[in-house]
Amino acid sequence: MQRTNGHKAVITNTHTTMIEVAEVIVCQGALRDPYATRITLGKIERTARGARGKYRVKFTDINGAILLQIRGNLYVQDIRVFTDNIQATRTHLAQFAATHGYAISFGKSVQDAR
């Protein structure tokens, strides 16, 4: 997907479905981040109980990417945002999520076994 500033960010096509809550963060936030290089959509799982209207995003650093665990009312989805600058992208996405009414939290950095 070519953007106006010449920077290229791509959503991989291995899994093409996003929960509605994730669309806002990915399409309006991550794709507009100047450091994001690739976005990988994870599988969608049903939550044990509803979020009662409180949408949440948890940010965890994983091997040159940021894992976003996005929780809506009924579903949760993991999305990886690969970036050239983890700190700047995390800050941009956290500010974006907070201004759009999402509760945010940060997990410990982990080494992904993939």
Range of the structural domain that residue 50 is part of:
10-106
For the chain, what is the domain count?
A: 1
The pLDDT confidence band at residue 1, using thresholds 50, 70 and 90, is: very low
- State pTM to two decimals: 0.82
Within-domain flag for 4: no
Alpha carbon distances (Å) from 73 to 4, 19, 50, 65, 77: 34, 10, 5, 26, 12
Within-domain flag for 45: yes
Within-domain flag for 112: no
Are 39 and 26 in contact by the 8 Å Cβ rule? The answer is yes
Within-domain flag for 5: no
Tens of pLDDT along 38-75? 999 998 998 877 656 689 999 999 988 999 999 988 89
- Asked if the model's pLDDT at residue 96 lies above 80, the reply is yes
